Structure 1
Amino acid sequence: MCEDHHAGLGRRALFVTGAAAALTLGSVTFARGADDMQHSETRTVRGTLPPGSPDFVYVPVEIPDGVREIKVSYTYDRPSVPAGTQGNALDIGMFDERGTELGGKGFRGWSGGARTEFFIRADEATPGYLPGPVREGTWHIALGPYTVAPQGLDYELTITLTYGEPGEAARPTYPPQRAKGRGRAWYRGDCHLHSWYSDGRRTPAEIAALAREAGLDFINSSEHNTHSAHAHWADVAGDDLLVMLGEEVTTRNGHVVALGTEPGTFIDWRYRARDNRFGRFARQIRRSGGLVVPAHPHATCVGCNWKFGFGEADAVEVWNGPWTPDDEMALADWDSMLVASVRENGRGWIPAMGNSDAHRSPDPVGSPQTVVLADDLTREAIQEGIKAGRSYVAESKNVSLTFTATGGRGRRAGIGERLDVDRDTPVTVRLEASGAPRCTVRFVTDQGVLLTSAPLPVSGSGVVEWRTTPSYAAYVRAELRHEAAVGPLPGALAAFTNPIFLGRSPHS
């Protein structure tokens, strides 16, 4: 075993990714080559990252010919820090000989901080990493100092190359983009889920079983910063469960779900809002057939709060997992965006979604879930329904809603639609709910909450109606709230809808 040391960042070369500056350290080299078949060779590298380190530090590894497998393990210190101060957290990933260019083809995997070691070879790789040949050239271990303690971050990398004939690479198979639907109907889905292919603890099979139990018709694979799970969902999809493929693009300034991209699509995450690069990757998501959905925009974890604005968003994840104060903030922020869209006659409004973000037991899959009116149970039809806002969000399969507005000469509009009537035409808004015992119904408009009902009966079913005009309410949306626990704060959501817009369309 050979050892090398990176003395702080003193032996570094500045490497520009095309957006933010990153650091490339001195190369790790191996003496042996193809003549040493069936043997292995190990190098150990130690170094220190100071506070203020760049987001990504690359350790080049010179891979000779004849390598069957590369294995990397790492450790780093976790010193005590004062209360309120961030300690050390170091993420890790890998790029192959094709390089580390932003949006390039060299990506071979990412485990963030979820694993202490990984391997890559032609026929198999650690979850989070892509199997394939270990070709000769300069590979790069990517270190991501997520947070660094005031004392700095001491790390140790152990790199082992095993020589020999490569295994036979398997051709990936992907789930179908269509399931057996019911024609135009309401379909239930959860589009933000994590398996053991990133930092989750469940297998795809376990997630699929829980999805079926939760009454879901569709799900979306959304691992942090890797598409390595795409080839592992085909066996668990079926006529009753559409599995879409995507990624949770986890940047230092917020997370975005790439929802329903083409199989094998990788979306880079190595940029901040100040780098002015997000638009490029949002366009890549859409070119790859996906939707751009900012996730948990007011989450409080480091790097989780959404900083890129919503100009590129196709929808926004307003409700993420168990209802919390940051979801309440996201709901209020989204409602303010709806009000702003009224100034543009409802053009460009951003629909809301809800997803579980489930990682491990006891995180429930399908709580919440987005219920979408779609023409069929296909990837494109579900995406079209989400993008059009023909959806509501419910805490479970038990909650069902029908929300409509009627007025004029038999005109009718549903969720995500516009009731195209004159501004003074009487309008009746009607909500039919089931599965929400003791919940209160609220009708929210661009003026705020204009109707709060009495609690629904213990049966959970009821009808609430309200009459208004487009001149009084430019839109109306519905909320079902549980009983409030304390004071004047509203209770947790049981469900909420996207809006119905009221009044003439500027194009009518």
Structure 2
Amino acid sequence: MRFADAAPGGGAGTAAGGGSAGRAGGAEQTRRVTGHLPPGTPDFVYLPVEVPHGVREIAVSYTYDKPGVPEGTPGNACDIGIFDERGTALGGAGFRGWSGGARTEFFLRADDATPGYLPGPVNAGTWYIALGPYTIAPQGLTYDIRVTLRFGPPGSTPAPVYPPERARGRGRAWYRGDNHLHSVFSDGKRTPARIAALARAAGLDFLTTSEHNTTASHRAWDGLWGDDLLILTGEEVTTRNGHVLAMGTDPGVFIDWRYRARDNAFGRYARAIRRAGGLVIPAHPHATCIGCNWKFGFDDADAVEVWNGPYGPDDEITLAEWDNTLVAHTRGRASWLPAVGHSDAHRDPDVVGLPQTVVLAEDLTRRALQDGIRAGRVWIAESSAIDLTFTVTGDRGEHAGIAERLALARTARATARLEVSGAPGCTVSFVTDQGRLFTTALPPSGTGTVTWQTTPDNAAYIRAEVRHPPTTTGLPGPMAAMTNPVFLGRG
């Protein structure tokens, strides 16, 4: 086994002996490497590990220091993963697992692996421990890694069992789903079984497993799907310049994350998501965590997550930005981008299905759901207790639903109609390219029908919002439900 003598950015890596000497001296061999990473170290540091023939299992543990820092200065945070003898090149051929900062140790072998890591052959050659120094304190980051090679029969890797691409469904109908969820296979605390149970309790028809930078969970849902719950596979591609949901990609297909917006590489990986049968959905574009703000632009996106978890000020910013893209579309300058919402639930008390994307699809299948999202036949709700129907009609029987265009003359009357149930204490607003033009309270029961009239001359589109009373001065109330737009005019 050998480790790098020097880490990128000037950080030293020093190997020290420990444990048994190898197969001749025992069943395992342990080595330790320590090093120091200064501020300005590249995003990823790769420490080579020589793996001889006969190794059955690789086990890794690590620590790093966390010195005090001045207020307002990030401290040390260091992620970890591993690549096998196929190397660390972008594209992920050698990728074998990533736990980010969620674990301090992991193992992998042919028949099993720590959640977040891929079971498979432990072949001889040069493997690489991948460190991701997410933030580094002014004093630098000192790491201490122990790698244990355990020798023995290689074992065999069971064939993965992946979820089917369809469930029974109800034919053409509105289906409720949550496409942004985390389990113990990345930085979540819930098992897949627990998530499936919570999804059913939330009234969901489908969910997407979307772990940070790993596909290890794709094989973990055996026995958890059914006629009542479709499970799609995907990944939250977590870069230093924003996160993107690869929604409904083919099982086992890994999408790399090791690039920034300045590298001009995102288009390549967006195409890789689509080749794998997935949708490209930027997640929480204005979240406040380091590295979470979306910097890649929306040209390569299929939809955008405008509502992430309990509705807050960052969602309000994303909503406003998204609404501006609708205005650009009405001027013929860009395609419009459908809005979706997901829970991003990680652990208790996070609520699976808060919010949920409600999709009009031809059936409960991967392709049908993706087609519905791509077309914008979507509304978003904080729970399955809320139901709504949104249409816009003309005086001569013309009719359009969510994501459709109502072709009317510029001065013809258009009547927006929203039927809502399950939203007590809420108000309804109709929003156009001019802004929020009409707001009224629902009856105390939370069930009612609201209508409003305009013309294509006055509104290029209409969308509906259902909101709770305000909780923050200067901001409208938290969202309870919202729709994608109906466009007006002949286009």
TM bin, normalised by shorter chain, reads over 0.9
Which of residues 218, 237, 245 in structure 2 aligns to 1:249?
Answer: 237
Superposition pairs for residues 7-406 of structure 1, below 5 Å? 36=24, 39-344=27-332, 348-406=335-393
Residue 104 of structure 1: how far off its partner (Å): 3.4
Which of residues 422, 429, 445 in structure 2 aligns to 1:459?
Answer: 445
Contact 1:246–1:260, Cα closer than 8 Å, also in 2: yes
Question: Secondary structure in 1 aligned to 2:86?
Answer: coil
Which of residues 491, 497, 502 in structure 1 aligns to 2:488?
Answer: 502
CA distance in 1, matches of 2:77, 2:22: 37
Number of equivalent positions: 491
| Ranges in structure 1 where 5+ consecutive residues have no aligned partner | 13-23
**Identity of matched residues, %:** 66
AA matched with 1:423: R
Contact 1:323–1:493, Cα closer than 8 Å, also in 2: yes
- Judged with a 3 Å threshold, the aligned counterparts in structure 2 of structure 1 residues 28 and 250 are, in CA distance, closer, same or farther, namely farther
Contact 1:11–1:26, Cα closer than 8 Å, also in 2: no
- Aligned position for 2:479: 493
Contact 2:189–2:346, Cα closer than 8 Å, also in 1: yes
AA matched with 1:468: T
CA distance in 1, matches of 2:87, 2:3: 22
Residue 410 of structure 1: how far off its partner (Å): 1.3
Contact 2:15–2:34, Cα closer than 8 Å, also in 1: no
CA distance in 1, matches of 2:73, 2:339: 34
Residue 444 of structure 1: how far off its partner (Å): 0.5
CA distance in 1, matches of 2:340, 2:133: 31
Contact 1:253–1:308, Cα closer than 8 Å, also in 2: yes
CA distance in 2, matches of 1:10, 1:298: 30
- Judged with a 3 Å threshold, the aligned counterparts in structure 2 of structure 1 residues 391 and 37 are, in CA distance, closer, same or farther, namely farther
- Aligned position for 1:438: 425
AA matched with 2:375: A
AA matched with 2:98: W
- Judged with a 3 Å threshold, the aligned counterparts in structure 2 of structure 1 residues 178 and 33 are, in CA distance, closer, same or farther, namely farther
CA distance in 1, matches of 2:421, 2:353: 18
Deviates more, 1:279-288 or 1:336-345: 336-345
AA matched with 1:185: A
Residue 34 of structure 1: how far off its partner (Å): 8.4
CA distance in 1, matches of 2:360, 2:10: 57
Cα-Cα RMSD: 2.1
- Aligned position for 1:447: 434
AA matched with 1:470: P
Contact 1:28–1:62, Cα closer than 8 Å, also in 2: no
Residue 260 of structure 1: how far off its partner (Å): 0.2
Deviations 1:241-285 (A, max 9, x none): 000000000000000000000011100000000000000000000
CA distance in 2, matches of 1:299, 1:489: 17
CA distance in 2, matches of 1:172, 1:161: 25
Contact 1:11–1:25, Cα closer than 8 Å, also in 2: no
CA distance in 2, matches of 1:49, 1:35: 33
CA distance in 1, matches of 2:160, 2:347: 26
Residue 166 of structure 1: how far off its partner (Å): 1.3
Which of residues 390, 395, 402 in structure 2 aligns to 1:415?
Answer: 402
Contact 1:293–1:314, Cα closer than 8 Å, also in 2: yes
CA distance in 2, matches of 1:10, 1:295: 31
Contact 1:30–1:62, Cα closer than 8 Å, also in 2: no
AA matched with 2:105: E
Q: With structure 2 as the length reference, what TM-score do the two structures score?
A: 0.96
- Judged with a 3 Å threshold, the aligned counterparts in structure 2 of structure 1 residues 27 and 105 are, in CA distance, closer, same or farther, namely farther
- Judged with a 3 Å threshold, the aligned counterparts in structure 2 of structure 1 residues 504 and 33 are, in CA distance, closer, same or farther, namely farther
CA distance in 2, matches of 1:46, 1:66: 26
- Judged with a 3 Å threshold, the aligned counterparts in structure 2 of structure 1 residues 28 and 66 are, in CA distance, closer, same or farther, namely farther
CA distance in 1, matches of 2:136, 2:10: 19
Residue 35 of structure 1: how far off its partner (Å): 5.1
Residue 167 of structure 1: how far off its partner (Å): 1.7
- Judged with a 3 Å threshold, the aligned counterparts in structure 2 of structure 1 residues 323 and 486 are, in CA distance, closer, same or farther, namely closer
| Ranges in structure 2 where 5+ consecutive residues have no aligned partner | none
Contact 1:261–1:289, Cα closer than 8 Å, also in 2: yes
Contact 2:92–2:255, Cα closer than 8 Å, also in 1: no
- Judged with a 3 Å threshold, the aligned counterparts in structure 2 of structure 1 residues 423 and 10 are, in CA distance, closer, same or farther, namely closer
Contact 1:90–1:146, Cα closer than 8 Å, also in 2: yes
Contact 2:19–2:28, Cα closer than 8 Å, also in 1: no
CA distance in 2, matches of 1:445, 1:3: 63
Deviations 1:166-212 (A, max 9, x none): 12211001010000100000100000000000000001000000000
